Structure 1
Amino acid sequence: METIISEETKRKKIDRGLWLRLLPYMKNFKKELTVVVICLAILGAMDVLMTYLTKHLIDAYITPKELEGLSRFIAAYAGIVLVIALVVYKFIQTAGVIEAGLSHDIRKAGFEKLQQLSMSYFDKNAAGWILARLTSDVTKLGEFISWGLVDMVWGMTMMLGIMAVMLAVNFKLALITLSVMPALVLVSWYFQSRIVALQRVVRKLNSRITGAINEGITGARTTKTLVVEEKVMNDFRVLSGNMRDQSIKSAFYSALYQPMVINIAAVGTVLAIQFGGREVMSGAITYGTLVLFINYSIQFFEPVREMARILSEMQSAQVSAERIFMLLDQKTEIEDSEAVKARYGTILSPKREAYEAMKGDIEFRSVYFSYKPEEPIFEGLTLEIEAGTSVALVGPTGSGKSSLVNLICRFYEPTAGEILLDGTPLKARSQSWLHNGIGYVLQTPHLFSGTISDNIRYGRLDATQEEIQKAAVLVGADTFISQLSDGYDTQVGEGGAMLSTGQKQLISFARAVIAEPSIFILDEATSAIDTEAEQLIQNALIKVLENRTSLIIAHRLSTIRACDRILVIEDGHIIEDGTHHSLMKLKGHYWKLYTNQFIEEKEQALLA
């Protein structure tokens, strides 16, 4: 993760290509953007006109002490003020729509990408790091595009208008007033190059802080039981302290940049006063013209100062854009071929009518697999599982049990060899078809925010309430659900926080059962359930798993005695294969595991 994050600090310049990539998202707001551009053009023109009217007021009415026509002038001036007010209202309203819409579309694209990414992406990237992209980064980018860029358009419109009028009124005085521009460009380049580098570091540290906060929340119980609050706090203090220091440096350069721009602008105003005053004294220009140049010199550098702020924000927004596109550009390691997509659809747009029925024959042909090249899990694994067979996977932690079922689910791809389902390679069918036929119950179940009914219905979205209750009764979940005040309408909370681990496990069982899958995978699924509830599930599984292929990773060996096959896996190799009785007669590895566990359970029962 640190390597990936460090990529964010490598680029130093404004990336035009990166900003051009945002154009497709802005196409959805052509009408709003057009309105904003027109409003800004009108606003810039009105600002230029207002100052020019001051010149006209001085030369036509004040200097000659003429009152005729002054009322018409005041009326016109008031009309322009009213137009400006209406334009500002429309501009702010429309820019708000653009900000909300762009943030929505970019965040939606990012979340859609997350649904398509392989499991390996989530293995490598912390949840907080991903969250920062779809929350703070999207917000910052949306704010800048809707407000920063449009402010830049207003500034450019106003500056060009002022330059055009100044050059038209007095070409020589205009050049003298604008002679400070090269110095302004050099100062801007110097400071912005440093601000952008610091902003990238700040955003990188922000990702790590978001990840630390996420871990602090999700791992609160572990932190307290290990009594490591002080260490966790110290680690967070270091991270937040680094971010504070880098933010202060960035603020220092930004703060120094603004007064330097103001000073340079003041030099331009001084030049206008000095040389313009001489021209007034010699009669070359009118007093109104001098006032016009003084006001324009101040007005001209006002958008320059504003653009200095915008450019500073642009550095931070570009870093956010880089981080967002790093997510959007992430390649999916496991992706269906174009031929498969044409036939079965995509993960987000499946063609369920094309799905073939799944029997459940599984075959591994010389499969090699590793999460890291230097740490192989399987080296030439060959295995056949007939449809309707219940297979238990037994072995020490890290032996390859979960890796085997993850490969069957195609959460990961073999580095070599082939896995077939019903005689067809997994790659020849879509991932959605495969997952549609698999019921997977995890050791640590995850529930979604919503009601108990909602969570069971995730197994089959068109399930009726009657079918939901039937599934709950089958796995023994109805007993505790019926005792809740709201029954099946009880809110489970985020991640199922309102329920016990055992209750969440029973709901996840019901969710898998209601889907009526062809393949069942139980990954130590009864480890968090008490003995009584486990017996209910065991009885239910006899009916549920009948004529279905099932793979059961079990810690309690007593729960797998009835399985058709028991595979003992060690270091990625199947060292024993048979029924409970045949393996007990063999008196090998399984016999030792079972005997030792049986003795331990009896001892615990006696002590209890």
Structure 2
Amino acid sequence: MTTFQEQEYSKKIDLNLWRRLFKYVIPYKKNLIRLTMVMVAVGGIDVIFPLMTRYAIDNFVLKGSFQGLWIFAAVYGLLVLAQATNVKLLALNAGSIETGVVYDIRREGFDNLQQLSFSYYDRTPVGWMMARMTSDVQRIGDTIAWGLVDMVWGFTMMVGIAVVMLTINVKLALISLSVVPLLAIVSVYFQQKILKAHRKVRKINSRITGAFNEGIMGAKTTKTLVREKENLMEFKELTLDMFNSSVKAAIYSAVYLPLVVTLGSIGTGLAMWYGGKAVMLESISYGTLVLFISYTIQFFEPVRDLARIFSEFQSAQASAERIMSLIDTKPEITDTPEVLEKYGDVFQPKKENWPEIKGNITFKNVSFSYKDGEKVLENFNLDVKAGQSIALVGETGSGKSTIVNLLCRFYEPVSGEILIDGVNYKERSQAWLQSNLGYVLQTPHLFSGTVKDNIRYGRLDASNEDIINAAKMVNAHDFIMKLENGYDTEVGEGGSRLSTGEKQLISFARAILADPRIFVLDEATSSVDTETEKIIQDAIQKVLKGRTSFIIAHRLSTIRSADRILVISDGKIIEDGNHAKLMREKGYYYKLYTNQFMEEQEKEILGKTNI
């Protein structure tokens, strides 16, 4: 399970947060205006219906007269027709607002995710991000659109009813509405409790989503380690916590809403008690009593709805806090305004100003430590000439990956400089550098789609001929042509329909298609069989020719032809030279290579013996 710690939120209703959210409604202000007008009309007509009932009782029922009944029926029919039209219009406009707001928030969130630094993805679970971009955003859209519908209708109803009641009989109106102040006190108390409970529910929901993601992504590991029972128990603990928190939130809502109903019933009872005496004293008509009873019931109906909406807004704020925290997250690595002005960014690159990269790279007194305080490099120095291939060898945690991550500017030095062609790479844009990088990982990632789509991902304007040439360069063309539909074969989610070696060759083709000047290979052959390794090794020789390259390798047989082999220990270079030189020196590299060679020979002999 992930140990990611989510930000805590302790504020009450945050009006500034909701003001920020309502900026997403501005593009749909025409729909908003129409929706508001429609809901005012709906509330106004709902106020008129009891007046129509009062007129019918006093003029038709009590008098036993049918005079003017047809006109009354026609007016009543027109009001029903108008209300039906209003309901259709409110559904259309509220639906447009909801869909648009959800789309815009997700787009802005996704845009920000594209710009965030590598470190953000290192420490943030995928499930957390997925929960923000799916369920949390949808809750916000629902609340803004449909909550607005009920709020405008409710306030219109309440104001309209209060005005009519006070106009007809002030005393009876004040008696009927005497429970409203108590209702306000109850609402303030419960809104704090409900908000706190919903925040906890949303937080646990994020953890559950993260657990789902880890469970699916790690299914093979779970099977091989027979961890199903333990995983189920851990997941049960999370879901039990979610259940208990959800029940607590539901209890607060369940207690709050009946209190509102009870207070509303008291208001109705007061109207019947005082109004009934007034009818007996003939100070008001029977129709007026029915009107007041109807109004007290109707008045507290929107109050109940507003109480429900208020509860939903509490829950939605918990979602809003989290999605806005994602949108507000700033990249840890940014270009200066001067650099952006000259070279642009990943969305609007100014390629006409980009200098050509030759490939000379210098680490000058570079120190680096992660945020948890772990120091990896200290006063690290390295000078690489254009076109050189540099192999990095060392134990896990020695600093190999940190060196290439700093080179790629996924992280930046705490102190010191990294120069590319003699210029501090901070004086150029990230887009300029990373557009000239080819990065092939130990576990290649392919996207759903065809082989052709995945290779073209390296350069979207590439022609089919360019794609085929790139595949041929990395020895991938032959196996691609043997696939069911050649370059149009679907690779499956994450490349699941291909072997690791085939995915690796496609990722090589994708990287080389962009024609990068700097190549990074991170354990690129460690997960493939010997035969595929030879194919990839041959591809590497062709691909890296004339390019500056950094190779992190576990199998030392794959780096014998590197121009320089750097043995890294505790963030320092302890040996530097080509394969022949280091073997002559009989140091760390010699021992490592000899031991590995003997192990491979032993495996080969044992393999032949078993045949």
- Same fold, judged at TM 0.5 (above): yes
AA of the residue aligned to 1:492: V
Corresponding residue of 1:110 = 109
Distance of 1:17 and 1:221 partners within structure 2: 46
Residue 186 of structure 1 and its aligned partner are, at CA, apart by 1.5
Distance of 1:204 and 1:23 partners within structure 2: 23
* SS class of match (2:177): helix
The one-character-per-residue Cα deviations of 1:208-266 (angstroms, maximum 9, x if unpaired) are: 11011100000000011111111110000000011111111111221122211111101
Corresponding residue of 1:388 = 387
Q: Is 1:599–2:598 an aligned residue pair?
A: yes
Distance of 2:467 and 2:107 partners within structure 1: 31
Whether the 8 Å contact between 1:505 and 1:528 is mirrored in structure 2 is no
Residue 373 of structure 1 and its aligned partner are, at CA, apart by 4.9
Task: Show the 5 A alignment for 1:62-211.
Answer: 62-211=61-210
Distance of 1:421 and 1:490 partners within structure 2: 39
Residue 371 of structure 1 and its aligned partner are, at CA, apart by 1.5
Corresponding residue of 2:307 = 308
Distance of 1:64 and 1:410 partners within structure 2: 88
AA of the residue aligned to 2:362: E
Corresponding residue of 1:346 = 345
Whether the 8 Å contact between 1:476 and 1:533 is mirrored in structure 2 is no
Whether the 8 Å contact between 1:370 and 1:377 is mirrored in structure 2 is yes
The one-character-per-residue Cα deviations of 1:338-368 (angstroms, maximum 9, x if unpaired) are: 1111112122222222222111111111111
Corresponding residue of 1:254 = 253
Distance of 1:6 and 1:544 partners within structure 2: 45
Distance of 2:50 and 2:401 partners within structure 1: 74
Residue 126 of structure 1 and its aligned partner are, at CA, apart by 0.7
The one-character-per-residue Cα deviations of 1:25-53 (angstroms, maximum 9, x if unpaired) are: 11111111111101100000000011111
The one-character-per-residue Cα deviations of 1:312-338 (angstroms, maximum 9, x if unpaired) are: 111110000000011011121001111
* SS class of match (1:575): strand
* SS class of match (1:447): coil
Whether the 8 Å contact between 1:360 and 1:548 is mirrored in structure 2 is yes
Distance of 2:224 and 2:5 partners within structure 1: 32
Distance of 1:154 and 1:361 partners within structure 2: 68
Whether the 8 Å contact between 1:390 and 1:551 is mirrored in structure 2 is yes
Whether the 8 Å contact between 1:269 and 1:298 is mirrored in structure 2 is yes
Larger deviation, residues 219-228 vs 188-197: 188-197
Distance of 1:382 and 1:470 partners within structure 2: 38
Distance of 2:399 and 2:32 partners within structure 1: 55
The one-character-per-residue Cα deviations of 1:74-115 (angstroms, maximum 9, x if unpaired) are: 100000000000000110122111111111111111111110
Distance of 2:522 and 2:50 partners within structure 1: 76
Corresponding residue of 2:528 = 529
AA of the residue aligned to 2:423: T
Distance of 1:25 and 1:189 partners within structure 2: 28
Whether the 8 Å contact between 1:205 and 1:239 is mirrored in structure 2 is yes
Distance of 2:599 and 2:385 partners within structure 1: 34
Distance of 1:521 and 1:266 partners within structure 2: 73
AA of the residue aligned to 1:52: L
Whether the 8 Å contact between 2:42 and 2:83 is mirrored in structure 1 is yes
Q: Is 1:289–2:291 an aligned residue pair?
A: no
Task: Show the 5 A alignment for 1:360-509.
Answer: 360-509=359-508
Distance of 1:540 and 1:500 partners within structure 2: 17
Whether the 8 Å contact between 1:389 and 1:550 is mirrored in structure 2 is yes
* SS class of match (2:519): strand
Residue 201 of structure 1 and its aligned partner are, at CA, apart by 0.8
Distance of 1:449 and 1:150 partners within structure 2: 40
Whether the 8 Å contact between 1:369 and 1:376 is mirrored in structure 2 is yes
Whether the 8 Å contact between 2:4 and 2:123 is mirrored in structure 1 is no
* SS class of match (1:179): coil
Residue 460 of structure 1 and its aligned partner are, at CA, apart by 1.2
Whether the 8 Å contact between 1:6 and 1:204 is mirrored in structure 2 is no
Corresponding residue of 1:323 = 322
The one-character-per-residue Cα deviations of 1:380-432 (angstroms, maximum 9, x if unpaired) are: 10111111111111111111111100000000011111111111111111111
* SS class of match (1:363): strand
Whether the 8 Å contact between 1:369 and 1:414 is mirrored in structure 2 is yes
Distance of 1:480 and 1:222 partners within structure 2: 29
Distance of 1:553 and 1:5 partners within structure 2: 34
Whether the 8 Å contact between 2:117 and 2:410 is mirrored in structure 1 is yes
Whether the 8 Å contact between 2:140 and 2:320 is mirrored in structure 1 is yes
Corresponding residue of 2:579 = 580
Distance of 2:109 and 2:423 partners within structure 1: 33
Whether the 8 Å contact between 2:4 and 2:125 is mirrored in structure 1 is no
Corresponding residue of 1:273 = 272
AA of the residue aligned to 1:545: L
Q: TM-score, normalised by structure 1?
A: 0.98
Distance of 1:363 and 1:280 partners within structure 2: 96
AA of the residue aligned to 2:83: I
* SS class of match (2:439): strand
* SS class of match (2:370): strand
Corresponding residue of 2:40 = 41
AA of the residue aligned to 1:99: E
Whether the 8 Å contact between 2:102 and 2:141 is mirrored in structure 1 is yes
Larger deviation, residues 576-585 vs 217-226: 576-585
For structure 1, list consecutive stretches of 5 or more residues without a partner in the other structure: none
Residue 188 of structure 1 and its aligned partner are, at CA, apart by 1.5
Whether the 8 Å contact between 2:458 and 2:514 is mirrored in structure 1 is yes
* SS class of match (1:563): coil
* SS class of match (1:418): strand
Change (3 A) 1:577 1:501: same
Q: Is 1:7–2:8 an aligned residue pair?
A: yes
Distance of 1:135 and 1:587 partners within structure 2: 57
Distance of 1:458 and 1:78 partners within structure 2: 62
Whether the 8 Å contact between 2:474 and 2:542 is mirrored in structure 1 is no
Distance of 1:537 and 1:193 partners within structure 2: 61
Residue 2 of structure 1 and its aligned partner are, at CA, apart by 5.8
Distance of 1:544 and 1:118 partners within structure 2: 28
Corresponding residue of 1:590 = 589
For structure 2, list consecutive stretches of 5 or more residues without a partner in the other structure: none
Corresponding residue of 2:224 = 225
Whether the 8 Å contact between 2:474 and 2:543 is mirrored in structure 1 is no
* SS class of match (2:567): strand
The one-character-per-residue Cα deviations of 1:148-167 (angstroms, maximum 9, x if unpaired) are: 12211110111011111111
Larger deviation, residues 56-65 vs 576-585: 56-65
* SS class of match (1:22): helix
* SS class of match (2:458): coil
AA of the residue aligned to 2:184: V
Distance of 1:106 and 1:243 partners within structure 2: 26
* SS class of match (1:511): helix
Residue 526 of structure 1 and its aligned partner are, at CA, apart by 1.3
Distance of 2:493 and 2:430 partners within structure 1: 27
The one-character-per-residue Cα deviations of 1:100-151 (angstroms, maximum 9, x if unpaired) are: 1111111111111110111111111111011100011011111111111221
Residue 537 of structure 1 and its aligned partner are, at CA, apart by 2.7
Corresponding residue of 1:567 = 566
Matched residues, number: 606
Distance of 2:60 and 2:79 partners within structure 1: 19
